[in-house]
Structures are given as structure tokens and as C-alpha cells.
Amino acid sequence: MIDVLGVFAHPDDLELTVGGTFLKMKSLGYRTGCLDITRGEMGTRGTPEGRAEEAIEAAKILKLDVRENLELPDGHVFVVDEYRTKLVRVLRRLKPKVILTHQIDDPHPDHNHISHLVRESARLASMKNYDGDFGLERIDVPKVAHNIFSRRVIPSFIVDISDFLEEKMDAIKAHKSQFYNPDSDEPETRLTDKNFLDELENRSKYFGSLIGVKAGEPYFVREALNIEDPVKLLTRKMNLYS
């Protein structure tokens, strides 16, 4: 059983977007896992085999309890029943309480389609008669939160990852085939720009500044949040002016 499951398109997507949150959740005692939807075989750099090894190394840094790959075709992920069924079976087996995934309407087609695939599969996993013959019992609908990365969206909440920013960057760098390497003769991409990792770190610092901390990761939740103690929430100290 997994408390928090990341469902992302490619083997480095979790690290790039929510790595700090996963490190923090692990420090709080939660069981964490990642489901990479594809092997990243359409990527400009690296090989699927090499990327799988990098993903294992990154998972160690993130202290993940589980990392699996659904092995859907990179660049060809759509919301179809075959893929919904595959994902429902994983959700019923791992039983996550919370799923973190891509932003809705992300410009990358796989990212966008997976955000919808996750939402539909999370609901279907709770329906007893959907794929009932396979033998896995229904689960309660996991709560889905979408990381904000490529669009200007007002966050529903921001997770303070100040204590985990350095480890997050280490996990990202484990995917060394995808980032700046002056000795590489492979084609250049946005990710291989020598300033890209600095941009990522600055992004975390920007969102942290919105809540008065060193670094943060932002999320959008479509549903209304059920807050037990609004006074405690709204009066929580933030070091905005210290």
C-alpha cells in the first residue's frame, strides 16, 4: 500500500516537478511511490535502457518505496479504455491515498493526456464492476493534485520543500543523459541548456517566496478542499517579512 503515488509520463518528470514533495512526504513517514507511464523512448537523448538505470538511481535519492513503469508508448499516450484498465489495476494494487500528476492542459500531449487518464482511472478504480473479472477489489477514489509547471495557474496550495531542495536537485541530476553535458554529441534540447537546472531551482525558490520560505512546489486541486480548522490554517506563521 502506498500513501502518495506520483504518476508521470517520463522517467525524469517526477523529479523535475514534485521531487521535493516526495522527499518531504518520506520524512513525515509516508510510503511513497512513482509510476512512470512510458520508458521515454521518444526522447532526443539517451536510451530507454539507460534512462531506466537513471530512474533507479533517482528513486534511491528520493527514498521511494516503489518505482514502476507502465510501458505505454512514449508520444502516443491517449485516454483510451485499454490504458485506463492498465492504470486502474496498478491503482487497485498499490492503493494510494493521494496521486500527484501532471498539470491539466500541459502543452506536452503525453503530460496533458496523462492528467486526464489519471483522473478517469482514479474514479474507475472505485467502481466494483469496472474490470471486476480481473480479481482486484475496488478502492476509495484517490485524491488527485496536479503540479503547476507550464502554465500560469493560481496554486491551490504550495508545499514547503526548503529542507529538501538540494536533494531534489540531486535526484534530477541522476538523469544525467537528459541534461547539460559539454562532451555530448547528441542533439541539443531545452533541457540540455546549461542554464536549465538553475532555472528549475529558481522556480522552486519563486514558489517558496509566495509562502515566505526558501523553496516550494505548487499544486492545483480541481475539487474544493475540506479544511477541518480554518483558523489554524490561516494563522499559520509565514516568514514573509523576517
Name the residue ranges covered by the structural domains of the chain. 4-234
Distance CA(227)–CA(152), nearest Å, equals 25
Pick the closest to residue 186 from 46, 52, 48, 49 (CA basis): 46
- Specify whether the CB–CB gap between 14 and 67 falls below 8 A: no
Distance CA(167)–CA(186), nearest Å, equals 27
Rounded to two decimals, the pTM is 0.94
Burial zone of 236 (CB within 10 Å; 0-12 exposed, 13-18 middle, 19+ buried): exposed
* φ, ψ for residue 41, nearest 5 deg: -70, -15
Element (H, E) at 85: helix 81-94
pLDDT value at residue 238 = 64
pLDDT value at residue 241 = 46
Looking up cell 540531486 gives: 170
Q: Tens-digit pLDDT profile for the chain (242 aa)?
A: 999 999 999 999 999 999 999 999 999 999 999 999 999 998 888 899 999 999 999 999 999 999 999 999 999 999 999 999 999 999 999 999 999 999 999 999 999 999 999 999 999 999 999 998 898 999 999 999 999 987 789 999 999 999 999 999 999 999 999 988 887 777 888 777 889 999 999 999 999 999 999 999 999 999 999 999 999 888 876 655 44
| Cell representation of residue 36 | 512512470
CATH homologous superfamily, domain 4-234: LmbE-like (3.40.50.10320)
| DSSP state letter for 151 | S
Distance CA(43)–CA(74), nearest Å, equals 8
pLDDT value at residue 242 = 43
Distance CA(197)–CA(180), nearest Å, equals 9
- Specify whether the CB–CB gap between 134 and 121 falls below 8 A: no
- Specify whether the CB–CB gap between 33 and 67 falls below 8 A: yes
